[in-house]
Structure 1
């Protein structure tokens, strides 16, 4: 600004000198000084132009206007040159004006340098602003990274705490479950042990009350044997007659009469309960030929003789004494005469198989096979063993199978019967039965053969109730 003020004062002085006239001494003195010291003039003009460039960024034309104006005639010559024509009397620069040309060239260079300096200053300011923005953004980014890291650490701690909590809870639950399982296993083992103790006590009481040294058999053995035999018979019927078709038209009159004597309601059962019909027929044959025999293995004549002796003893002795005699005699036969009764036992088994196959082959479309006969023979042998075991006891064991008569209701008895049809237990007492699939076992008296008024159901009869 100081340089501009100096330039303005110099312009004012120049104007005053021009007003003095073209031939004034002042103008000549200025021209002489300019010619004598062109470098100084150029330096002064460069300083003026630099000041104008820094202060306002003006062009080179405005810088030239700030130079000390020449006389009017000189101005006219300059204008003519700028317009492309020479003014008369102005033939161009003279040898003495070399300093002026050098000053003009210096002025242009100085102006160009000043303009470049101004542009560089503006670019530097922009870079500085960009640098400040980048620094600010980097600071904000660093703050956000710190916040993100803190939040991530907090979430990680929360997740770790949650995982630790649930792992501990699951571990405690597993510990409780293991403890409960261990306790349950211990209770089950204790129950098994207690059952064994009860069974042992029963056997001890039974053997201690016997005077003949015979080993007693608990009621559970009879119940388990009956259940095992009943399940085996049901499986045998299902395996070999599941796809069989019942046709009473092709059966003989004798076969139908025998079937009607054992299962009176066979016609009603054939359509809706085929398996139960066949199972009931086989059970009736086993009750009549195995459980109804005096002792399987004795010939019919021997069995008749033993019955006669027992009846004779009843007329002379008490019921208890007769039961002891029967138990002792049959135990002796079971232990000592098993081999001698083997042939008669096999013959009795074959008679049972022949009777069952004759009727089943007559009413069904499936003929007998070796596999079927072998399975049936195993069932009959099991029934014979169970029947012998019942016969040697001092207590009176009987196998019962309720009779089903057409046009007569036989009501369900929950004390002696068990339903195999899956009916509602609450409605069973009001239902009548249509079929007995397997017999039950009843015990009269105690292990010594006394107290015959005492009755106990060892195994319930398996029955099928009629549909409502």
Structure 2
């Protein structure tokens, strides 16, 4: 009883396996129908044992198309070829019969009927006919497949375990690296933050120190400004307390003379720097006057044209403005005042009293008769301008312009104001303009002269003077007009020394 159950289970398992392969049941059914058709009434020969063997063999072997593979996955993916169509075999030993057509029709009808019961016949046929042969092979193949699957599963489990170990190891390594990196950058950030905090603290301290220094500097500047104001006030107090009314300090005259000299130099440079000098083509009167103004002009025409022209204009300003008794007075009246001073000097022995008389008289004229002298002042100014333009236009190719005359008129006005201011002082101020005579050496004097060439005074010692570009001022006496033995250099004359 147990053996029959095992055989039935094996046949059922075999049938289930064959049912997954296309064409397996149809072959069994067709083989059964063929065997039954061959034993029908239309056959000439009765069925024999020999004719039933092929039917059994087809049912057990060739009709099932069973594919045996070592892998269950491969067996499921393989598609078996379609089953061949089975027709009723014609027995070669049967003789020709006129009733074959009827037999064939009967066989076809039987085949059609048996198609409906083909699944049942196939299961019964496989269970009865091929039970013994297919049962053993299917059980062995199932065991092999089970072992193979178990081995495959074990292999995959081992690989999975290895991969899990590798994954865990790599994950631990990455975690460790990440931890180290995080620690490194945290340390780095902490250090940088500490540096930033220290730098910020130092910067704040430096800013506080800078603000404190700025405050101290501003305070010192204010203190210096206050001290300068005090010193200025003290100077003014000393100046006003030690001199009479209308007296001017020496610094004012020094600054005024420097401004006048710089203005004259700029005027000559702007208007005659590019002018062509041609003294030979000038008129005879111009030759004579230029020889009187600049005796050494022939030596300066080629090498120092600008300095020669500046020297000529300076000499004209000294002769027409600074050497007059009081600029703005008519010539006859100026001569009368000069004669009166000489007359007083013959009766008065005190130079201080004589200087006070001169200072007060000229100050009275400057203060009270300015409007009356305005016409003569303007006329004298125009005469100076005409004389300067006449000489310079005759020896150069420069043309007179309104701008040039306006600038020259301003220079002449400044020189006139400075000359009047010098004349009303109790001390005696003299314009110092060294005379340069041909065939006579005029040595450089560092006490009263300054070289415009920029050379050292020690190197200029005993050097000859080529020309005087602007005069200086020498003061005799004090603010009260006395002590005439004292002499002071207020402004040095500007000279051009000859080359060695």
- Do both proteins adopt the same fold according to a TM-score greater than 0.5, normalized to the shorter chain? yes
Q: List per-residue Cα deviations over 1:288-317 (Å, max 9, x = no partner).
A: 111111100111111111111111222222
- The 3 A distance-change label for structure 1 pair 255 and 456 is same
Determine the structure 2 residue equivalent to 1:254. 285
1:407 Cα offset (Å): 4.3
1:100 Cα offset (Å): 5.1
* Aligned: 1:219 with 2:253: no
Contact 1:237 1:278 in 2 (8 A): yes
Contact 2:449 2:493 in 1 (8 A): yes
Contact 1:202 1:218 in 2 (8 A): no
Candidates 383, 387, 396, aligned match of 2:415: 383
Determine the structure 2 residue equivalent to 1:463. 495
Q: Give the TM-score of the pair, scaled to structure 1.
A: 0.74
Contact 1:320 1:448 in 2 (8 A): yes
Q: List per-residue Cα deviations over 1:96-141 (Å, max 9, x = no partner).
A: 9834531320220221232133223223322332232233222222
Determine the structure 2 residue equivalent to 1:356. 388
- The 3 A distance-change label for structure 1 pair 95 and 372 is closer
Contact 1:297 1:348 in 2 (8 A): yes
3-state DSSP of counterpart to 2:145 = helix
* Aligned: 1:139 with 2:172: yes
Determine the structure 2 residue equivalent to 1:103. 136
1:36 Cα offset (Å): 8.6
1:390 Cα offset (Å): 0.7
1:197 Cα offset (Å): 3.6
* Aligned: 1:280 with 2:303: no
Root-mean-square deviation (CA, aligned residues, Å) is 3.1
- The 3 A distance-change label for structure 1 pair 113 and 223 is same
Moved more, 129-138 or 172-181: 172-181
* Aligned: 1:232 with 2:263: yes
Q: Give the TM-score of the pair, scaled to structure 2.
A: 0.70
* Aligned: 1:305 with 2:370: no
1:267 Cα offset (Å): 2.4
Determine the structure 2 residue equivalent to 1:445. 477
Contact 2:247 2:426 in 1 (8 A): no
Determine the structure 2 residue equivalent to 1:243. 274
3-state DSSP of counterpart to 1:443 = strand
Q: Look at both structures and tell me which one has the larger radius of gyration over its CA atoms.
A: 2
Determine the structure 2 residue equivalent to 1:393. 425
* Aligned: 1:154 with 2:187: yes
Determine the structure 2 residue equivalent to 1:83. none
Determine the structure 2 residue equivalent to 1:127. 160
Candidates 293, 307, 330, aligned match of 2:362: 330
Unaligned segments of structure 1, at least 5 residues:
1-31, 43-58, 61-92
Determine the structure 1 residue equivalent to 2:373. 341
1:332 Cα offset (Å): 0.1
Contact 1:421 1:464 in 2 (8 A): yes
Determine the structure 2 residue equivalent to 1:293. 324
Contact 2:246 2:363 in 1 (8 A): no
Q: Number of residue pairs matched? A: 387
Contact 2:246 2:425 in 1 (8 A): no
Determine the structure 2 residue equivalent to 1:115. 148
Determine the structure 2 residue equivalent to 1:24. none
CA distance in 1, matches of 2:156, 2:439: 123
Determine the structure 1 residue equivalent to 2:295. 264
Determine the structure 2 residue equivalent to 1:372. 404
Contact 1:397 1:441 in 2 (8 A): yes
Determine the structure 2 residue equivalent to 1:203. 236
1:156 Cα offset (Å): 3.1
1:383 Cα offset (Å): 0.6
Contact 1:203 1:218 in 2 (8 A): no
Contact 1:394 1:449 in 2 (8 A): yes
3-state DSSP of counterpart to 2:326 = coil
Moved more, 112-121 or 345-354: 112-121
Moved more, 344-353 or 253-262: 253-262
